[in-house]
Amino acid sequence: MNTIFLEFAVVGLGIVLLLAEAFVDRTNKDYLAYLGSAGLFVILLLSFLPIQGPAPGSSDAAFITSDILSVFFTRFLLITTIIVLLMAPGFKPVLARYLPAEREGAGVGEFTILPLFVCAGLMWMVSSIDFIMIFVALELATITLYVLSTYLRQNNASLEAGTKFLILGALSTGFFVYGITWIFGVTGTTNITALPHAISLLPESSILPLLLGIALILVSLSFKIGAFPFQFWVPDVYQGAPTPVSAYLSVASKAAGFVVLLRLLLALETVPVVAHKLYAVITLLAGVTLIFGNLAAIPQTNLKRLLGYSSVAHAGYLLMGVASLGSLMAIPAIGLYFAAYLAMTLLSFVVLMVVAEATGGDEISRFNGLSQRSPLLAGAMLLAMASLAGIPFTAGFVGKFMIFEVALKQGHFGLVAIGCVTVAAGFYYYFKVARAMYWQQPTEETAIPVSMTVRILIAVLGAGILAIGIYPGPILAALR
């Protein structure tokens, strides 16, 4: 099967659901979420059929590839989207509160459907090998995400988050475009796979402009993945955006950014003059990102914001892996880390969403005594936090283990040392949540109701964390 079919299937699903939303007269829009995730699930299953890239020589072949990286992350994005879609029904009350709706359920449908387009964009992004395609796919995802972040338009935080995301995102787009321009100007191509050859033909003097282009691309990718000093939007947007959108941002859009970064690096690896400069810079980025993300997270009191900082921190660990690309295991390690990251981050966002709805806020103090109000939610959150902190037998641990392994193998001793300090910091801020849930007394004793969808989500994600933590083999194998 042609890989392009998958993306178009997602787009088609989105259009079908849009039509359904428009023409089916139901106030309860939950069915859209279930339909959407069921459709995505089917697409996910389809992705396990034998997949070829576009036929060589066809026009698409210049843009799209179906290597293991793209296949892996396509599935990754599909799974993320399924879970985010399933979060939507739980988020209905918040939407109802902050949308100027004429009748019940207004706006819920679009909120459920737009992620599908984001998904399609990100899927294109992870399989494209051409800057132009990447640009278009990236903008498809990003612009839709601007909308989703601002979705609660009567909520100041959401508006603020959307505005910040918009301005900074557009700024980053500017740099991206400018970077493509320079690379194109120097090499005459926008195709990543063609880059090494094109560079090899370049005279010595043209390296500087090329490097400028690469630096600008790196800027915008750093923005996308939330690496210091381009991470500033991350905590603010995560805190303000609707919870499922924050979850989506932190998992899917970060992953897509990393895939592009990986592709660029893998292509340039054969060009030593560029590659070693890039590695040096990425090593540095990894170090400062680790420090900023982890240390600045320490004093946080708002869980959503904390997860934003944590997302920056994990970008740091992932960058550690990227900086170690020289090792054969680096890409499997990064993939594993992402798989882990998906499970643990989404699980914490799911629990956060339920608890925030039940207690009226997403500060850590709202979690006080959660273990007495809902042992299930508390246990799930504890598992997620343990995994984020990197406790063995959870996915987060094997992820960190592999990352540290490849980093050590590549001799990044400084990064590893920073990693140790920041892991300790991580223990502190993740365990702050555990403390609230288990040590503190709840302000009210009533049990928190948990819907069946959420229960299933928790069960699946929790099982995922443990499964990856105990038996990570298949995921590593998928990327080798």
Partner 1 sequence: MQLSTIAWITLVIPLIAAALILLVTRANKPLAAGLAILSVLIAFIGSWFIFWHGVNADYLGFDWINLGKTFSIPFSLLIDPLSRTMFVVVTTVALLVFIYSIGYMRDEEGYSRYFAGLALFLFSMLGIVLANNLVMMYIFWELVGVSSYILIGHFYTKDSAADAAKQAFIVNRVGDFGFLLGILLFWISTGTFLISPLNSSAGLFVEHPGLLALACVLIFCGTVGKSSQFPLHVWLPNSMEGPTPVSSLLHAATMVAAGVFLLARIFPILSTSPQACEIVAWIGAISATGAGFIAIQQDDIKRILAYSTISQLGYMVAAAGLAVSAALPMFHLFTHAFFKCLLFLTAGSVIVGMHHEQNIWKMGGLMKKMPFTFLAYCCGMLALSGCPFFSGHYSKDLIMACSWEHHRAIFWVLVIGAALTPFYMTRQALVVFFGKPRSEHSEKAHESPWVMVVPMLLLAVPAVCAGYPVVKNFFFKDIGSLAEPEIPPYVDQVFLAAFLLGILGAFAIYRNVAKDPLRIPFFAQRFYLDDLYDWIVRVIQGGFARICSFVDRWFIDGILVRGSATLVWSIGFALRFLQLGNIQAYAFFFGAGVIGLIYLILNVR
Partner 2 sequence: MLLASYWFFSTLTIAFGATAILLRNPVSCAMSLAVCFISLAALFISLDATLIGIMQILVYAGAVMVLFLFIIMLLDLRMEKSRRLNFGATLGGGLVIAAFLSMLTKVILSDPEFAKPLPPLAASAPDNVRMIGMTLFHSYALPFEAIGVLLLSATVGVIVLSRRTLR
Partner 3 sequence: MPTLANYLLASGILFAIGLGGVMLRRSIIIIFMGLEIMLNAANLSLIAFSRYGLVDGHQIFDAQVLVFFIITVAAAEVAVGLAIIVSLYRARQTTHVEDIDTLKF
Residue ranges in contact with partner 1 by CB under 8 A: 163-164, 167-168, 171-172, 175, 208, 211-212, 214-216, 218-219, 222-223, 228-230, 232-233, 235-236, 276-278, 280-281, 284, 291-292, 294-300, 309, 421, 424-425
Nearest Cα neighbor of 24 from 85, 108, 92, 81 is 108
Kindly write out the interface string for residues 133-162 of this chain, putting x where it contacts partner 2 by CB under 8 A and - elsewhere: x--xx-xx--xx-xxx-xx-x---------
The option from partner 3, partner 2, partner 1, none interacting with 222 (CB < 5 to 8 A, set by class) reads partner 1
Question: Which residues partner with 423 through β-bridges?
Answer: none
Site string for partner 3, 128-147 (x = CB under 8 A): ----x--xx--x---x--xx
Question: Of 136 and 448, which has the nearer Cβ to partner 3?
Answer: 136
The DSSP output letter for 447 is P
Footprint of partner 2 on 271-330 (CB under 8 A): none
120 near partner 2, rule: CB under 8 A: yes
Which residue in 296, 400, 292, 260 sits closest to 344, CA to CA?
400
- Within 13 Å and on the Cβ side, how many CA atoms surround 250? 36
73 binds, among partner 2, partner 3, partner 1, none (CB under 5 to 8 A by kind): none
Name beta bridge partners: 460: none
Cβ contact 312:289 at 8 Å: yes
Q: How far is CA 456 from CA 43, 345, 347, in A?
A: 20, 16, 11
Q: How far is the CB of 262 from partner 1 (least distance, A)?
A: 18
User: Could you give the CA distance from residue 276 to residue 133 in angstroms, rounded to a whole number?
Assistant: 27
What is the closest distance, in whole angstroms, from the C-beta atom of residue 305 to partner 3 in the complex? 8
Q: How far is CA 33 from CA 5, 13, 14, 37, in A?
A: 22, 12, 11, 6
118 vs 461 by CB, closer to partner 3: 118
Query: Going by C-beta distance under 8 Å and a sequence separation of 6 or more, which residues neighbour residue 462?
Result: 347, 380, 383
CA distances, 159 to each of 6, 164, 300, 301 (Å): 33, 9, 22, 21
User: According to CB under 8 A, which residues from 236 to 275 bind partner 3?
Assistant: 236, 239-240
- Residue 467, interface with partner 3 (CB under 8 A)? no
Q: Token digits for 193?
A: 């796979």
Phi, psi of 101 (to 5 degrees): -100, 140
Binding of partner 3 by 180 (CB under 8 A): yes
Place of tokens 């540095």: 284
Residue 71 · residue 65 · CB < 8 Å: no
Q: Closest Cα to residue 216, out of 262, 281, 308?
A: 281
From the list partner 3, partner 1, partner 2, none, which binds 113 (C-beta under 5 to 8 Å, kind-based)?
partner 2
Position 92, amino acid: K
Position 177 contacts partner 3 (CB under 8 A)? yes
Report d(CA 95, CA 57) in Å as an integer: 47
Given candidates 41, 93, 104, 188, which one binds partner 3 under the rule CB under 8 A? 188
For partner 1, give the closer residue by CB, 172 or 374. 172
Nearer Cβ to partner 3, position 124 or 279? 124
Query: Judged by CB under 8 A, does residue 62 bind partner 2?
Result: yes
Judge whether 115 and 248 are in contact, CB under 8 Å: yes
Site for partner 2 in 5-24 (CB under 8 A): 11, 15, 18
Question: Which listed range, 203-211, 281-289, 293-301, 384-392, lies at the site for partner 2 (CB under 8 A)?
Answer: 203-211
User: Which is nearest to 307 in space by CA: 260, 240, 372, 359?
Assistant: 240
The residue ranges that bind partner 2 (CB under 8 A) are: 4, 11, 15, 18, 59-60, 62-64, 99-103, 106-107, 110, 113-114, 117-118, 120-121, 124, 132-133, 136-137, 139-140, 143-144, 146-148, 150-151, 153, 186, 203, 205-206, 208-209, 212
- Given the rule CB under 8 A, which residues bind partner 3? 132, 135-136, 139, 143, 146-147, 150, 153-154, 156-157, 159-164, 166-167, 170-171, 173-175, 177-178, 180-182, 184-185, 188, 190, 235-236, 239-240, 305
